[in-house]
Amino acid sequence: MSTKIKHTSDQELIQRAREARERAYAPYSGFAVGAAILADTGQIVTGGNVENASYSLCTCAERTAVTKAISENMRHFEAIAISTVNGAMPCGSCRQILREFAGPEGDLRVIVAGDTGPARCFTIAELLPEGFSQEQLV
């Protein structure tokens, strides 16, 4: 079930994700994806998908943004916006990576935006119910 976008920063996140999409490297599929993740510090980190001729080595925009943020010592996130031409949802691998940084309740907001129509907002717990988490490693 999606929730309404309620934060003014959500629109900025969507815009930053769209800008990141313009810098994506997608020469094989032509399906560019951009992501912008909001850390609890207020910083926004962006990423675009990076394709490779060996498809299994491709990196999704969401994972690019998370990796960049982690490399800058950010570990806690409030929201991520994902931009595609048609509002496609994050893949399973990206959902699991996002779950890692969503806290025990999985309340990281995931905003999915296409070029037309309203953006949709979910929590990662909604997108990955019963996902594997740190709490299960005991």
pTM: 0.90
- Per-residue confidence in pLDDT tens, the chain, 138 aa: 344 455 558 999 999 999 999 999 999 999 999 999 999 999 999 999 999 999 889 999 999 999 999 999 999 999 999 999 999 999 999 999 999 998 888 899 999 999 999 999 999 999 999 888 777 887
Which domains, from first to last, does the chain contain?
A: 8-137 (3.40.140.10)
**Which residues participate in catalysis according to the annotation?**
62
**Long-range contacts of residues 65-73, Cβ cutoff 8 Å, at least 24 apart:** 65/20, 65/35, 65/36, 65/37, 66/37, 66/97, 66/98, 66/101, 69/37, 69/39, 69/43, 69/45, 72/43, 72/45
